[in-house]
Amino acid sequence: MKRLAIIFIIVSIFLLTGCENKRDLYILPEDAKIEINNKTIEVFKSYKLYDLIGNTNMEINTKDTNIDTETIGEHTITLDLTYNKKKYKYDLKYIVKDLDAPRFIQASSSRSTLLTQVIDPCESIITGDNYDAKPNCRIDGNIDFTTLGNYNVEYVLTDSSNNETRKKLTIHVLDKYPTYNNTPSPKTYTYIENVMNTYKNDSTSIGIDVSRYQGNIDWDLVKEAGIEFVIMRIGVQTSPTETLDVDTKFVSYFEEAKKRGFKVGVYVYNTSINRDMGVKTAQFVIDNLHGEKLDLPVVYDWENWKHFNEYNISLHTLKDAYNGFKETLEKAGYESTLYSSKYYLENAWLDIENDNIWLAHYTNYTDYKGDYYMWQMCSDGKIPGITDNTVDIDILYKNKKNI
C-alpha cells in the first residue's frame, strides 16, 4: 500500500507540474512585445498569419500559416513563439465578417396583377449572396390589392450579417390586363461577310462556336468564309442531377476541324453547384480529350440562372465550383476560361479579375468594362457551310491570347 501511495504522489506531482508548465507557456516575458494589426477580416479573403501581426520582438514560428476565413464569427489560432531561445504560445483571436450586401440577379422593377389577386413579388425574383445560400426578401411599402392604382414600394434583401440591398418596384393593380400587338418582328441575321468587313484586322481572329444544333457542317465552305478558329461543345449537363454527356457531334467536329487547320477549343455546358462537381467536370473534359492539344483554353459554360435559388448555394460556392474546374485543368496542362454574358459578369460572378473571360454580348460594339480576350458578338450568324441553323460568331483579340 505504501508503494502504491508513493507512486500516486509521484504521478500527481508529475501531472501537476506538467499542467503548470503548459500554463507557463502562455505567460509571455514582460519585455516581450507582440502587436495585433487587424482583428477583423473579410470572409473568403486570403490572409496569412503575418497579415494580422504588427511589431514584435518575438520569433513567430507559424507566421506563414493560412488564416481560416471560410466561416463568419470569432476564431482563435494559437501562435508558436520563441523568445530568448524559450518557447511560448499565444492565442490570437480574430473576427471574420461578411461585409458584402446581397444581390438582385433577376428582379423586375414593375409587376402587374388584377384587382383582389394578391401576389408576393419576392417569389418571382432571383437573388444571390456571397455567403448565404439565399438572402431574405421582403417588400417595404403598402399595397392595397383591393383598390386600383400604382403602388411604389421596394424590395429589401438582407443576409445573415444584416447587410441590406434595396430595389424600387412598382405594383400595378389593374381591372384587366392590357392587350399588345404580338406580330413578330422580321427575322434578321448577322452575315459573316459584314463581320469580316467590320471586325477583321491584324489584331483579331474571327471564329465560331458550335454544338450538335449546327448539324452537318461543310467545313471547307466554313474555311473559305474566313473562319480561323472553332470552339466546339465537348459535353452537356442541363441540371445537377443529370449526367455529363459528350455532345453527339463533338468527335466528328473535332476531327474535321483539326484536319482543315482550324485553331480549336472546347467548351462544356454544365450545372456544377459545388467544387467537387467542378473538379469532376474538368476531369470529364480531360478524359474525353484523350491527350489532344488545344489552341484555346477549355471553356466553362454555366447559364442556368433561372434555377439558381433552387440549388440553395451562395455565389461564393458557385465560383468555387469554377475554381475547382480551373485548378484541375491547370494540373493537366490546360488553361481554362469562364464564359458568361455581360449582365451576369457584372451582376453575379464573383472574383473574376484573374480569370480568362469569354464575353457574350449581342451587340455591334460592347461596352463591357471588364477584361476579356474573346467576344461572342451574336448568336444569329449566317455562314456558308452551316445550313441547318444559325451559329455564334466570336471575335478573338490576338494581343490578349497567343493564337
The pLDDT assigned to 201 comes to 97
Helix, strand or coil for residue 190? strand
Compute CA distances 367 → 97, 99, 244, 310, whole Å. 34, 29, 34, 32
Helix, strand or coil for residue 150? strand
Q: Kindly list the averaged pLDDT for each block of 10 residues, start to end, along the chain of length 403.
A: 48 44 77 84 90 88 83 92 91 94 97 97 97 97 98 98 98 94 86 98 97 97 98 97 97 98 98 98 98 97 97 98 98 98 98 97 97 97 94 92 54
The pLDDT assigned to 403 comes to 52
Q: Estimate to the nearest angstrom the gap between the alpha carbon of 271 and the chain centroid.
A: 12
Q: Which backbone phi and psi does 329 adopt, to 5 degrees?
A: -65, -40
Domain regions of the chain by residue span: 29-97, 103-174, 190-397
Dihedral sign of CA atoms 102, 103, 107, 109 in order: positive
User: Using an 8 Å Cβ cutoff, are 322 and 341 in contact?
Assistant: no
Side chain identity at 385, as an amino acid letter? G
Taking the C-alpha atoms of residue 10 and residue 13, their distance in angstroms, rounded to an integer, is: 5
Q: Which backbone phi and psi does 323 adopt, to 5 degrees?
A: -60, -40
Containing 229, the helix (H) or strand (E) segment is strand 229-236
Among 72, 135, 44, 67, which residue's Cα sits nearest to residue 350? 44
The pLDDT assigned to 313 comes to 98
Side chain identity at 112, as an amino acid letter? S
The pLDDT assigned to 125 comes to 98
Answer CATH for 190-397 from 3.40.50.2020, 3.20.20.80, 3.60.70.12, 3.10.20.30: 3.20.20.80
The pLDDT assigned to 66 comes to 87
Among 110, 108, 115, which residue's Cα sits nearest to residue 177? 115
The set of cell numbers assigned to 367 is 461596352
State the number of CA atoms in the 13 A half-sphere of 255 facing the CB. 4
The set of cell numbers assigned to 173 is 393593380
Helices (H), 173-303: 192-199, 219-224, 250-259, 275-289
Q: Tell me the β-bridge partners of 166.
A: 156
- Has this prediction a pTM greater than 0.85? yes
Taking the C-alpha atoms of residue 230 and residue 394, their distance in angstroms, rounded to an integer, is: 9
User: Using an 8 Å Cβ cutoff, are 115 and 98 in contact?
Assistant: no
Answer CATH for 103-174 from 3.40.50.1820, 2.60.40.10, 1.10.10.10, 3.40.50.12780: 2.60.40.10
The pLDDT assigned to 26 comes to 84
- Residue for grid cell 474555311: 223
For the chain, helix, strand, coil in percent to 5 are: 25, 35, 40
CATH topology identical between 29-97 and 103-174: yes
Fold classified for 29-97:
Immunoglobulin-like (2.60.40)
